[in-house]
Every structure is written in C-alpha cells, then in structure tokens.
Structure 1
Amino acid sequence: MPTHLSNILKKSKQLFDSFFESYTKELFSPKTRITDACMYSLSAGGKRIRPIFVINSFFNPEDLLKESDHKKHKSVYLASLAVECIHTYSLIHDDLPAMDNDDTRRGLPTCHIQFDEATAILAGDTLNSLSFYLLSLLDSKDPNTIRDSIQILHQGAGIRGMILGQMEDIEEEKNPSYKDLESKLTSIHEKKTGALIEASFRLGNRLRPDWKEREAVLSSYAKEIGLLFQITDDILDVEGNLQELGKTPGKDAKAGKLTYPGLYGMNTAKKLRDESVEKAITLVSALPSLNNEFFLGLPKYIAERKN
C-alpha cells in the first residue's frame, strides 16, 4: 500500500475514533445493559471502513491530513458515526441464530453470545434508530442537507438496499433458484453489501458545496467498490483464517450461499476482482476532484486486504 494512502487511512481512522470515544460517552449515558451491548459491538474493533469512506468523500487528502478540530466539521463525523451504527446493527442481527448463526465477530464473541439473543436484537434496533437521529443533528447552510442525508442512508440500509439484499440472500439459501444465478448473485450483493457502501460515499459528498458535480461519478465508483468489497470477502471466506478474518471462515460454502468463487471458481473470481479494481480507478481518473491518492489507491487496498 502506498505510504500516502496509508497515512490517509490511518489519519481518517484516528479522527473517527477520537470523535467516537468523546461523543459516545454522552450518547450512551447513563450505563444500562442495552448501552453496554451497543458499546460492546461498536467498540469491538473493525477497520471503520465505512466511516472512512464518509470522511474521505468530504475532505480532500491535503485538508484531511491537516484536520484536528472536530467542532469545525462535526457534521462529517456525525454522518460517519451514523453509518457505523447502521453497519454494526446489521452485523449484530446478521450473527443471530435466525440469520447466519455465528458466534465470533471481529475476533470476539458475537453480541448474542456475550449477552443474550433478546439483548442483541434490541441493541441492533437501538443502533438502527440512533443512526437517523444522528443525521437529524447535521448542521448545514443548505436546508435540504438533513432530508437528503436521511434519504441516502435509507436507500442504502432500508427496504430497497441492505435489508432487501439480506432477504434475497436468505431466500436463495433456503430455496436455491438455479436460474440466472449471475444476475441473482449481483442483485444480492449490490444491495446487501454495496448499497450501504454507496450511501457512505454519498453522505460525505453531500456535505460538500460541490456535491452535485461529483455525485454521478462518485456513485458509480462506490457501486464498483461495493462489488469489489464483496468479491474480496467471498475470496477471503475461502482462503482466510479465523485469526486474520476475526470471524469464522468457510461458512458461506457450508451454508450453500451463492458466492463468486462458488459460482465462477476461484481463478475467475480473482480475475473479476482485478477487473473491478481497474474499473474503479478509471472512473475517478476522469474527474479532477476525485483524481487523488485516496480514490485511486483504495481499490487495490480493498483487493489486497486480508480481513
């Protein structure tokens, strides 16, 4: 990974984690069993990749590396935390016995194992509703910013986005169609994984004054990143190990899930991954404000990750 991209990712995560630690102290006070469960899952580690997408869709790299005051750009961090809350809620629910029934997440016991199933369900519900509350606090001179941001997150996480992708995934697992599997696989992962990733990029961009001129290209790029992220995830589920992944590998094949290696074979899956990297780079190369170290370096970083 290029040194400058490494610095950008490190700085982005530091900024988010600093805001997260200070803001959640008040947000989850007083302490209760449900706040403990929420914080357990939110603080369990993870790469904070979706908040990083929000942050870097707002800042130019040179401005990001100088950023030090959360108060000046608080809305960016609120949007980042909203996305992380939605993502964490989805992981809590995804791990439940009725869903993927997993007992390890980010190298730790899953929420329903650490607490209990009812508490995990309520913790997920809490984080889901909390994310939209956080967006209601955005500060902008544009009166439509809050409305648009709530709609963007709903599109990514709601009934036409992540939720529908989860439903299609469950239906395919229980009742395999054996018809047009390529389209079914694309449909599942565009929604289940890609929709929230796209929303993360769009949320950060929406807070910029020049958001309109960047939105179309950035949305196309984000869709490609979502695809790339899922192909890489599917490959890692086959080739990864528990220590690196932080979750149980090989579960997709055992559950009969539709995956890129399962449908195309590993060699073709890796070829599709590499083609996705090039497509993403080509998309942002044409727009000056997106032609920078973060957007150009991110695809290779995602393709080469180990967890």
Structure 2
Amino acid sequence: MPNSFSKILYTSKHLFDTFFESYTIKLFSPKTRITEACLYSLQAGGKRVRPIFVLNAYFEPNELLNPDSNATNHSVFLASLAVECIHTYSLIHDDLPAMDNDDTRRGKPTCHKQFDEATAILAGDTLNSLSFYLLSMMDTSDPLQLRDSIQILHKGAGMEGMILGQMEDIEEEKKPNIHGRESILSSIHEKKTGALIESSFLLGNRLRKDWKERESTLSSYAKEIGLLFQITDDILDVEGNLEELGKTPGKDAKAGKLTYPSLYGMEKTKALRDESVSKAISLASDLPSLNHDFFLGLPKYIAERKN
C-alpha cells in the first residue's frame, strides 16, 4: 500500500476521532442509560471508514495533511459523524436476537448483551434520528445543499437502501436452492452494504462547490467500493477468526445466508474480489479533482483487510 495512502488514511481517522471525542461530550450529555448505550457502541472502535470516505470526498490532500490547512470545515465533520451514527445504529440492530443474534461486535459484547435488548433497540433508534439532526446543524446558506444532504443519507440508509437490503437478506435466508440467484445477491449487497458507502462519498462531495462535475463518476466508484467491501466481508466470514474480526466468524453459513462464497465458491469469489479491485482503480483514475493517492490506494486496502 503506498505510503501516501497510509498517511492520508491515518490522518483522516485522526481528524475524525478528534472531532468525535470533543463533540460527543456535549452531544451525549446529560448521562442516561440511553446515552451510555449509544456511546458504548460508538466508542467500541472500528475503522471509521465511512466518515473517512466523507472527509476524502470533500478535502483535497493538502488540506488533510497540512497542519496549517483549512481542514476545519465544521459541516463536513458533522456529516461524517452522521454517517457513523447511522452505521453504528445498523450494527446494534443487526446484532439483535431477531436479526443476526450475535454476542460480539468489535471485540466486545454487543449492545444488547452489555445492556439489554430494549435498551439496544432504543440506542439504535436514537443514533438513527440523531444522524439527521447532525445534518440539520450544518452551516450552509444553501437550502438545496441541506435538502440534498438529507436525501443522500436517507437514500443510503432508508427504505430503498440499507433497510431494504437487510429485508431482502432476511427473506433469502435458508432458501434451499441457491442457483440462479446472482441478481438477488447483487441486489442485497448493493443496498445492504453499498448504499450507505455510496452516501458517505456523495455527502462529502455535495458540500463542495464543484460537486456536480464529480458526482457521476464518484457514484460509480463508490458502488464498486461497496461491492468490494461486501465480497471481502464474505471471504472474512469464512476465513477470519474472532480475534482479528472482532465478531463471530462463520455465522453466515450457519444462518443459511446467501453470500458470494455460498453462491460462487471461494475460488471464484476471490477472483471477483480481484476484478472489483481492478475496476475500482480504473474508475479512480477518471475521478476529476480528487485525492488520487487515497482513491487509488483504497481498493487494495479494502481487499487486504483482516476485519
């Protein structure tokens, strides 16, 4: 992985974490059982990739890497936190007994195990609604920018995006015949995983003045990154271990989920992963006025990750 990519990745995460730590002190005050549950899941770790996508779709590399730069736009950090809140809420609800019924997330007990099921449901609800409140706090004089930002996040997280993908995933569990289901597999993961990833890139981009000229190509790139992310997740669920993953491996097969390895086998799944890496790199080369070191390095980073 190029050193410049690693530096941008580290710096982006550091900038987000710094904002996160300072802002959430005020955001989750006063202390209640619900705020404790929200913070427990938000602070459990994770790679923060979706907030990093927001930041890198907005900032130029010199703005991120130069300490004296203008990487202080409050609105883009609010947008990045909104995405992280949506993602964390989805994990809390995914782990519930009625969904994936998991005991471990990010190497710690899941929210419903640490607290209780009702508290976990309400913590997820809190983070969902909070994300749109955070967007409403963005400092913008352009009402269309605010409207578009809300719609971008809703499209990725709502009933035509992540939620619909989750519903399709549940409906496809334990169906006896996996053959001929390539299109439904693509549909599930385009929505369940890819939609919020695409929203993350498009949110950061929408806050730029030149957003229109970049949006179409960036959307195509983001969709490919979402596909690559899910294929890699499916591989890790088969080949990973609890210590590295931070969650229970092998649960997809036990639940009878439709996945890339279950449909294609591991050899072809890895070939599809490699094809996706190549396609994403090709799309990154066509992105106008973007941080090419980050966007070119990201596909390989996702494909090689261990959690």
**TM-score range for the pair, normalised by the shorter chain length:** over 0.9
Q: Could you tell me which residue of structure 2 aligns to residue 135 of structure 1?
A: 135
The amino acid that maps onto 1:262 is S
Alignment match, 1:230: 230
CA spacing shift, 1:195–1:258, aligned 2, 3 Å: same
Q: Distance in 2 between matches of 1:242 and 1:98?
A: 22
1:28 paired residue number? 28
What is the match of residue 153 of structure 1?
A: 153
What amino acid sits opposite 1:202 in the alignment? L
Whether the 8 Å CA contact 1:19–1:70 is kept in 2: the answer is: no
CA distance in 1: counterparts of 2:34 and 2:70, whole angstroms? 27
2:194, 2:227 within 8 Å by CA — same for their partners in 1? yes
- After the TM superposition, which of the residue ranges 140-149 and 196-205 deviates more from structure 2? 140-149
Q: Are 1:55 and 2:55 an aligned pair?
A: yes
Comparing 32-41 with 287-296, greater Cα deviation is found at: 287-296
The 5 Å alignment of 1:234-245 reads 234-245=234-245
C-alpha distance in structure 2 between counterparts of 1:123 and 1:213, whole Å: 38
Distance change in 2, residues 1:115/1:68 (3 Å) = farther
**Runs of 5+ in structure 2 lacking a partner?**
none
Map Cα deviations across residues 96-132 of structure 1 (whole Å, 9 max, x no partner). Answer: 0000000000000000000000000000000000000
Q: Hey, what's the Cα distance between the residues in 1 that align with 2:94 and 2:30?
A: 27
C-alpha offsets along residues 222-266 of structure 1, whole Å, 9 cap, x if unaligned?
Answer: 000000000000000011000000000000011110111111011
Distance between the aligned counterparts of 2:268 and 2:44, measured in 1?
34
Separation (CA, whole Å) in 2 of partners of 1:66 and 1:119? 42
Question: 3-state DSSP class of the match of 1:186?
Answer: helix
Aligned partner of 1:172: which letter? E
Q: What is the aligned-residue identity percentage?
A: 78
Stretch deviating more after TM superposition (287-296 or 103-112): 287-296
Structure-2 change in CA distance of 1:81 and 1:19 (3 Å): same
> CA RMSD, aligned part only?
1.4
SS of 2:289 mapped into structure 1: helix
Give the Å deviation of 1:283: 1.0
Q: Measured at CA, do residues 123 and 41 of structure 1 come closer, stay the same or move farther in structure 2, by a change above 3 Å?
A: same
Measure how far apart 1:284 and its partner are.
2.0
CA apart distance, 1:175 = 4.5
What per-residue deviation string (whole Å, max 9, x for no partner) do you get for residues 127-173 of structure 1? Answer: 00000000001112422111100000000000000000000000001
Residue 27 of structure 1 deviates from its aligned partner by 0.4
How many pairs are equivalent?
307
Q: What runs of 5+ residues in structure 1 fail to find an aligned partner?
A: none
For 1:16-47, what per-residue CA distance to the aligned partner results, in whole angstroms no more than 9, with x for missing partners?
00000000000000000000000000000000
Judged with a 3 Å threshold, the aligned counterparts in structure 2 of structure 1 residues 68 and 51 are, in CA distance, closer, same or farther, namely: farther
Conservation of the 8 A alpha-carbon contact between 1:9 and 1:52: yes
**Residues 1:17 and 2:17 aligned together:** yes
Tell me the secondary structure at the aligned position of residue 289 of structure 1. coil
Do 1:285 and 1:291's aligned partners in 2 also have CA atoms closer than 8 Å? no
